Amino acid sequence: MKVLVIGSGGREHALAWKLSESPVVSKVYVAPGNPGMENVAELVSINEADLKGLSTFAQEQAIDLTVVGPEVPLLAGIVNVFQEAGLRVFGPTKEAALIEGSKSFAKEFMQRYQIPSGSYFVTTDFDEAVTHVKQQGAPIVIKADGLAAGKGVTVAFSEEEAIAALSDILKDSKFGDAGAQVVIEEYLEGEELSLMAFVHGDTVVPMVGAQDHKRAFDGDKGPNTGGMGAYSPVPQFDQADIDQAVREVLQPAASGMVKDGRSFTGILYAGLMMTGAGPRVIEFNARFGDPEAQVVLPRLESDLAVVLLDLLSGETPDLTWSDDAVLGVVAASKGYPGPYEKGKQLGMLPDAAYLFIAGADRKNGGYVTAGGRVLLAAEKASTLEEAQAAVYQKLEQLDDRHVFYRKDIGDRAIKRI
């Protein structure tokens, strides 16, 4: 069958690669994709925001299955458009994707369905927000309510830092409409776990866990990013912890969406803080995490295309996972997540077992930087320590004059810190 992947980042590269491996898939298209994907898919120069153009292409090419990668087209209603055209598409509707599109909606939803999360306060008023911060004290978490590409969150360890974040969002409109209101959340103590599941209505099929590294620099320093690296499995948590998170978070969320008339089909991502009192939800996403997809999909031994088709037809797929560990490290343009220059020559790319291109373009026979997160290199090995050693050895091949990467991805699991 013919498959269309929508998106252009490292997550979409991983999806296109995994789908291209399927014996039931004859052709993979990616719209718009990036030049790094050309070995696994045919690029289609239609922007992911052009919902009608994408739908027309899928109809003209008789696409059998469309998989939507990023959150922006999901919130814009791409699944609704495809469904109205009678096309088979994997992803949540605009109504269901709101679980990611509005943090205040997600918090209210969790409260209604007794899904464990931190306490919160929502406001559009700067002075009211400052008063709340002063009442609660630090540490405290400040979030822009809408989509901000992973950058609209500040974990403030002082009241001054919290107030500066509020000023950025509400006074300076740093995140535009996404910051029309803020969500101020309780700071949760613990260790993070990214847990994703294939969902169709009440059916929840969990994946293996992963851990993302959000901060830009080593030692979890610097501003929040979209993610600087990830690994799977997460040995800090056992199967009982995963099962508890599925039972208390993912299953109630899927069932709650059905009850609300927003039945969810797609990838439901729970960003969890594993506290002493059990899992607490930090955020929900309505799609694969990036970079979590790039370390989880290489461990999936089942045919991804068949898994998605089974779900859409109402069956519960049985997933098989590799016992090996996968660890991936993001190389980002210098300056990211702030301003950065594009068009910088990358030179030789690392010959890692898995190399997923995100923000890079081809020029004069080589690659140049074209985005904040440029690429992710990953290795698979029998242990995380071996995978970590292998990927950092490969990254030494990368000319780092214009890019940087964290040197400590996976250290927490390997007990170095």
3-class SS shares of the chain: helix, strand, coil, % to 5: 35, 30, 40
Question: Which fold, 125-180?
Answer: Dna Ligase; domain 1 (3.30.1490)
Biggest distance spanned by C-alpha atoms of the chain: 59
pTM of the model: 0.94
Pick the CATH number of 325-414 from 3.90.600.10, 3.30.470.10, 3.65.10.10, 3.30.70.20: 3.90.600.10
Q: What is the pLDDT of residues 252-297, one digit of tens each?
A: 999 999 999 999 999 999 999 999 999 999 999 999 999 999 999 9
Measured in whole angstroms, how far is the alpha carbon of residue 231 from the centre of its chain?
13
Domain boundaries defined on the chain: 2-93, 125-180, 191-312, 325-414
DSSP string, 64-85: SEEEE-SHHHHHHTHHHHHHHT
Q: What is the pLDDT of residues 344-371, one digit of tens each?
A: 999 889 999 999 999 999 998 899 999 9
d(CA 411, CA 416): 5
Which residue bears the tokens 């209603």? Answer: 77
Q: Give the confidence band of 417 by pLDDT, cuts at 50, 70, 90.
A: very low
Considering the chain, what is the average pLDDT of its residues? 94
At residue 411, what is the residue type? D
Amino acid 147: pLDDT: 80
Q: How many C-beta atoms lie closer than 10 Å to residue 374's C-beta?
A: 29
* The two domains 125-180 and 325-414 share their CATH topology (first three levels equal): no
Q: What is the pLDDT of residues 180-191, one digit of tens each?
A: 888 898 999 899
CA distances in angstroms from 108 to 30, 114, 143, listed in the order given? 36, 10, 15
CATH number of 191-312: 3.30.470.20
Nearest to 169 by CA among 150, 148, 186: 148
Q: What is the pLDDT of residues 15-45, one digit of tens each?
A: 999 999 999 999 999 999 999 999 999 999 9
Amino acid 347: pLDDT: 87
Question: Which fold, 2-93?
Answer: Rossmann fold (3.40.50)
d(CA 193, CA 282): 10
